[in-house]
Structure 1
Amino acid sequence: MRIIFGFVPFSVGDVAYFIVIILAIRWFWKNRKTWKENWKNNFLRILSALSLFYFFFHFLWAFNYYRESLSDKMQIKKEYSDADLLQFTNKLILKTNQIHSQINENDSLKVVYPYSKEATFSMNLNGYQNLSEQYAFFNYEKLSIKNSLFSLPLTYMGFGGYLNPFTNEAQVNGLMPIYNLPFTSCHEMAHQMGFASESECNFIGFLATTKNDDLYYKYSGYSYALRYCLGLLSSQNEELFKATLAKVNPGVLENYRESDDFWKQYETPIETGFKIFYDNFLKINQQRDGLESYSKFVDLMVNYYKTEEL
């Protein structure tokens, strides 16, 4: 799929989705007057279409929901203590602050990402190449990452990207703050390689960005992971969270505010409704934690870096 569609400059999958949506609206409009009379036949047609859609979804990609877990494959434990989380978070703060200071001499300035989307997509390969030298199963070939044509709807739904399972194109939200782009696109590339779990793809995205030779990539990965860890600390111990947060460079916090301000502009009931739907969709497809699985990559990070250098 990546060989066939990767060279096309626009999202083929998004175009296909748009055509399907138009045809569906057209069908409903044509049958609006006879809906009550033919409701049985119409219901069976809708059910048939949904069944066909779901079959091809599983056939073309989603059998990956049943693959061996990454924690088993890499022999990483998932359990950790509060002390483990705090220790790892402090390590992340030191690393994030260090990289932030290498990019900006003033620790109060946010990081301004200098690369275009197209350049970012190509530069992702560097991190995956470095990662595959250590773990061959992370080898990635045939780039196929696209700026989603549905970036605005994605923003209202609260998502930074998604994988199209029918064309295997990695889609990214072109409207979100661009310093998040390396991590988000590397996350979607992990899905392309057949990793279905959101926590696993977050973990792989973290590895691929932090093992990239470019400082801006490292910053994207470390700052993203740090934010998740701080969020967990906040839910466990508010006083400890505040004391830990005070150690983070003000410029890093400015990037967090930039991201928060962006997403707050688009908060609507649409996001809540879609996330309820997607939460249940994940649970049906072997991800018991639903949307909470996104944050479960902290389990993998904390235990992985007990034996590895950050």
Structure 2
Amino acid sequence: MKRKFILPVFLLIQIIVVKTIGLFPDFVENGYSKGFYPKLAFVSRKVLGWLPFSFGDVIYFILILLLFRWIWKHRIGFFKEWKDNGLAILSWVSVFYFFFHLLWGMNYYRIPLHEKLNIEKEYSVDQLKVFIEKMLVKTNALQLQITKNDSVAVVIPYSHDEIYNLALKGYENIPSDLQEFRYEVKSIKSSLFSYPLSYMGFGGYLNPFTNEAQVNYLKPKYTSPLTTCHEMAHQTGIGSESECNFIGFVTAAKNEDLYFQYSAYSFALRYALHNLEMIQEGSSESYLKRINKGVLKNFEENRAFWKEYQTPINTFFEYFYDNFLKANQQKDGMEGYSKFVGLVIGYKGVGSVP
């Protein structure tokens, strides 16, 4: 076999192997997610966590430059040489596919969290309304406790680095039945790509190759505690976005810091209201009237930020990531982000998280 065919053929073999192994979530859970991955992640975060900048972002930047250089070099006669160029692209995809699944990606195929916790993810409209009521009361109370004025938006006084350090406290208080997701060795960075991330519609991401949690530092800071805890959940070996939102909510809510609690409860309230509106259009109006004006100002701050960066680029990446998730065991795609509400409602009963 010619050398140029080796990696493309290896890509096909990898896909078959990964999808076959994925049929056995117990094996993935015990052999990879609880066996190989934690040791590898510990080393990655130990080696790179101390760096004050995102090493993974630097590597991505270099690779992007090399990609553009390759495209420019082959711009003349690109389609004429489609076979060789296609094989070169498949070779790079093969390498990325291998390291992605080896270093983190197999976590997509582990046992779903709701099965391990015996949580019923589905909920009735009545259960959702009870949940919204609890989130509304708690969010209002936290906003008033922080600002002393129900009409003032919450402004977090911490730097992003202080938020990353404080996030560890919530993971230290994680409930006993979630102890497998305790967090060790911090590696959380403000992404060097925060502007592109904003246009792509992402509040953060986990670099699967360096195990660095990346946070978009441009978005409203009151959302950063929850986003940080979400990305840390990915670092503990969770692939599902709904499960990361769930763990992110629990750990932020369990944090003794009021700003973390506010970030968690306002996040859950906003998503719960959205879900109710999707089920019964106009049904969220009565709740919106009861939310403190300061909380609504934070909601508007968040809405205005993402609207400012809404472009066709955002639409494309949402479509791309939606299909990426669906191709990796996340059948709900981007909708999975809002599915965490069912996990919180079902977790030891509605409102059990303080």
TM-score with structure 2 setting the length? 0.85
Name 1:68's counterpart in structure 2. Answer: 111
- Within the candidate set 320, 324, 341, 1:281 is matched to 324
- Within the candidate set 276, 287, 291, 1:244 is matched to 287
Identity %: 55
- Within the candidate set 83, 108, 112, 2:151 is matched to 108
- Secondary structure in structure 1 of the residue aligned to 2:284: helix
Counterpart check, 1:256 vs 2:294: no
The 5 Å alignment of 1:55-204 reads 55-131=98-174, 135-204=178-247
Counterpart residue type for residue 23 of structure 1: L
Q: Aligned in 2, Cα 1:117/1:253: closer, same or farther, shift over 3 Å?
A: same
Counterpart check, 1:205 vs 2:248: yes
Report if the CA contact (8 A) 2:187-2:212 is conserved.
yes
- Within the candidate set 265, 269, 280, 1:222 is matched to 265
Q: Could you report, residue by residue, the CA deviation over 1:15-57 in whole angstroms, capped at 9, with x for unpaired residues?
A: 1111111111111111222424422111111111111111111
Q: Aligned in 2, Cα 1:49/1:90: closer, same or farther, shift over 3 Å?
A: same
In structure 1, stretches of 5+ residues that fail to align are none
C-alpha distance in 2, partners of 1:261/1:235?
21
Report if the CA contact (8 A) 1:132-1:138 is conserved.
no
Report if the CA contact (8 A) 1:159-1:173 is conserved.
yes
Cα deviation, residue 125, structure 1: 0.6
Which segment drifts farther, 214-223 or 32-41?
32-41
Q: Aligned in 2, Cα 1:239/1:40: closer, same or farther, shift over 3 Å?
A: closer
Name 2:3's counterpart in structure 1. Answer: none
Name 2:336's counterpart in structure 1. Answer: 293
Name 1:38's counterpart in structure 2. Answer: 81
C-alpha distance in 1, partners of 2:147/2:322?
38
Q: Could you report, residue by residue, the CA deviation over 1:197-255 in whole angstroms, capped at 9, with x for unpaired residues?
A: 00000000000100000101100000000000011112222343111111111110000
C-alpha distance in 2, partners of 1:281/1:6?
27
Report if the CA contact (8 A) 1:132-1:139 is conserved.
no
Cα deviation, residue 134, structure 1: 5.6
Q: Could you report, residue by residue, the CA deviation over 1:114-156 in whole angstroms, capped at 9, with x for unpaired residues?
A: 1100000000010000115563212111000001011000000
Counterpart residue type for residue 169 of structure 2: N
Cα deviation, residue 309, structure 1: 4.8
Report if the CA contact (8 A) 1:190-1:205 is conserved.
yes
- Secondary structure in structure 2 of the residue aligned to 1:142: coil
C-alpha distance in 2, partners of 1:173/1:230?
24
C-alpha distance in 2, partners of 1:238/1:305?
29
Number of residues of Structure 1 aligned to a counterpart in Structure 2: 310
- Within the candidate set 45, 70, 74, 1:2 is matched to 45
* Root-mean-square deviation over aligned CA pairs: 1.2
Name 1:12's counterpart in structure 2. Answer: 55
Q: Aligned in 2, Cα 1:103/1:134: closer, same or farther, shift over 3 Å?
A: farther
Cα deviation, residue 85, structure 1: 0.2
- Secondary structure in structure 2 of the residue aligned to 1:238: coil
Name 2:10's counterpart in structure 1. Answer: none
In structure 2, stretches of 5+ residues that fail to align are 1-43
Report if the CA contact (8 A) 1:11-1:147 is conserved.
yes
TM-score with structure 1 setting the length? 0.97
Name 1:232's counterpart in structure 2. Answer: 275
